[in-house]
Structure 1
Amino acid sequence: MTDQVPASERYKEIAALATTAAQQLRRHERERAGELGEAVAAGRQRREAADEQRKQVVEDVRKRWNAAMEALWDERWMQVKAMPEPDRSAAPSTPDASRRDVQEAFMALYKSLEKTRFAANLLSRRKKES
Structure 2
Amino acid sequence: MTDGAGEQPERAAERYKEITALVAEAVDRLNARERERAERLEEELATGQDRVESAQQQRDEVAEGVRIRWNAAKEALWEERWMQVTQLPPPDTSAEPVPAEEAIRAVQSAYMELHEAVGQRRWSGMGLLLGGWRGRRES
For residue 94 of structure 1, the aligned residue among 96, 99, 120 is 99
1:66 aligns with 2:71: yes
Match of 1:124 in 2: none
Structure 2, unaligned runs of 5 or more: 1-6, 121-139
Runs of 4+ with deviation above 6 angstroms: none
For residue 23 of structure 2, the aligned residue among 18, 23, 48 is 18
TM-score norm. by structure 2 comes to 0.77
Q: Deviations over 1:70-113 (max 9, x none)?
A: 00000111111110011112122110000000000011111111
Q: After TM superposition, list the pairs within 5 Å mapping 1:25-36 onto structure 2.
A: 25-36=30-41
Structure 1, unaligned runs of 5 or more: 116-130
TM-score norm. by structure 1 comes to 0.82
Q: After TM superposition, list the pairs within 5 Å mapping 1:32-111 onto structure 2.
A: 32-111=37-116
| Higher share of residues assigned helix | 1
The CA RMSD measured in Å over matched residues stands at 1.6
* Counterpart amino acid of residue 103 in structure 2: S
Percent identity between matched residues is: 50
